[in-house]
């Protein structure tokens, strides 16, 4: 069954058609890649799914229902995302940064209510336990009490991922998660993304330029160029598709999928 369905989505910025009549489906439980050269429209698609942008045409359905909510409600529906650039509150601790993911999901309102009532400490402890569990899953428990500023870049990326996961999303949108990481960090993060799918059952939609990561992780890949879908299939299929190879001519050799 498709967890996410995109049908006929078009986004225009003035005269530029950034996304052009795009359609694809993400199967429940899949790691699905969305790739294409710079400017292809990938981040714009993410912004449509998270409702930062309303498409000029088309429909997006999540779990069979049209996504027509406000941006802050998307997380309540079960969709979480990370951004192309890390955005942490640097003056706050790692654990508080992760708890902010629950704030975004509205759970902290429950906390506020509880603080006025009798179960305050128990409720706060429950939420902190949940945040600690996620840090543990990602292997960064040791950083929990420290400040977010000054952390190695790879750890900052994991904290952002923890913040996305703490609300128990069904779908995780990752926009270039390994950008800026060294090769050891990349391999580790790829394993973590696979574990998030395998152990937590989270479906993943991944935009990524690192083709060895994309080809190694994804079950299915949709390829865009100039806003349109130009190919779709398994990693093996898209790597050998002449339209895909042509689209990447002129890109860095290391970005090209036929590696």
Binding site residues, ligand ADP, CB under 6 A: 13, 16, 18, 36, 38-44
Q: Is 89 helix (H, G, I), strand (E, B) or coil?
A: coil
Q: Which is nearer to ligand ADP, 19 or 79 (CB)?
A: 19
Contact 256, 211 (CB under 8 A): yes
> Does residue 47 interact with Mg ion by CB under 5 A?
no
Q: Which residue's entry shows tokens 């498409």?
A: 55
Separation CA 81–CA 115 (nearest Å): 29
Minimum distance from residue 44 beta carbon to ligand ADP (Å):
3
Contact 34, 206 (CB under 8 A): yes
Minimum distance from residue 41 beta carbon to Mg ion (Å):
9
Q: Which is nearer to Mg ion, 114 or 207 (CB)?
A: 207
Q: Which is nearer to ligand ADP, 111 or 230 (CB)?
A: 230
Q: Choose the contact partner of 39 out of ligand ADP, Mg ion, none; CB within 5 to 8 A by kind.
A: ligand ADP
> Does residue 43 interact with Mg ion by CB under 5 A?
yes
Minimum distance from residue 58 beta carbon to ligand ADP (Å):
15
Contact 16, 203 (CB under 8 A): no
> Does residue 44 interact with Mg ion by CB under 5 A?
no
Stretch that binds Mg ion, among 36-44, 127-135, 148-156, 209-217 (CB under 5 A): 36-44
Residue 61's region, left for phi above 0, alpha for psi from -120 to 50, else beta, is beta
User: Taking Cα atoms as reference points, which of 138, 81, 133 lies closest to residue 104?
Assistant: 81
Minimum distance from residue 71 beta carbon to ligand ADP (Å):
15
Q: Choose the contact partner of 38 out of ligand ADP, Mg ion, none; CB within 5 to 8 A by kind.
A: ligand ADP
Extended strands (E) in the chain: 2-13, 16-27, 31-35, 57-62, 65-66, 79-82, 171-175, 203-207, 220-225, 228-233
> Does residue 167 interact with Mg ion by CB under 5 A?
no
Q: Choose the contact partner of 129 out of Mg ion, ligand ADP, none; CB within 5 to 8 A by kind.
A: none
Q: Which is nearer to ligand ADP, 41 or 78 (CB)?
A: 41
Indicate the pairing of strand 220-225 with strand 16-27. Answer: unpaired
Q: Which is nearer to ligand ADP, 18 or 173 (CB)?
A: 18
Q: Give Cα separations from 158 to 123, 140, 161 (angstroms).
A: 25, 8, 5
Contact 244, 238 (CB under 8 A): yes
Q: Choose the contact partner of 40 out of Mg ion, ligand ADP, none; CB within 5 to 8 A by kind.
A: ligand ADP
Q: Which is nearer to ligand ADP, 42 or 170 (CB)?
A: 42
């Amino acid at each position: 069954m498709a967890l996410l369905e995109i049908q006929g989505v078009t986004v225009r910025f003035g005269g530029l058609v950034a996304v052009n009549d795009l359609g694809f489906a993400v199967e429940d439980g899949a790691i699905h890649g969305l790739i294409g050269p710079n400017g292809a429209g990938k981040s714009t698609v993410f912004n449509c799914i998270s409702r930062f942008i309303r498409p000029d045409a088309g429909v997006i359905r999540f779990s069979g229902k049209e996504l027509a909510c406000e941006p802050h409600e998307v997380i309540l529906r079960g969709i979480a995302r990370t951004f192309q650039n890390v955005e942490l509150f640097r003056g706050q601790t790692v654990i508080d940064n992760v708890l902010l993911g629950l704030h975004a999901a509205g759970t902290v309102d429950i906390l506020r209510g509880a603080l006025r009532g009798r179960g305050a400490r128990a409720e706060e402890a429950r939420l902190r336990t949940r945040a600690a569990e996620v840090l543990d899953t990602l292997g960064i428990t040791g950083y929990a009490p420290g400040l977010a500023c000054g952390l190695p870049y790879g750890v900052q990326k994991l904290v952002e991922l923890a913040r996305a996961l703490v609300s128990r999303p069904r779908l995780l949108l990752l926009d270039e998660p390994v950008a800026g990481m060294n090769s050891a960090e990349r391999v580790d993060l790829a394993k973590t993304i696979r574990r998030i799918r395998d152990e937590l059952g989270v479906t993943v939609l991944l935009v990524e330029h690192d083709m060895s990561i994309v080809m190694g992780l994804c079950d299915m890949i949709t390829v865009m160029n100039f806003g349109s879908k130009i190919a779709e299939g398994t990693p093996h299929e898209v790597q050998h598709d002449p339209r895909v190879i042509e689209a990447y001519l002129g890109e860095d050799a290391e970005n090209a999928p036929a590696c």
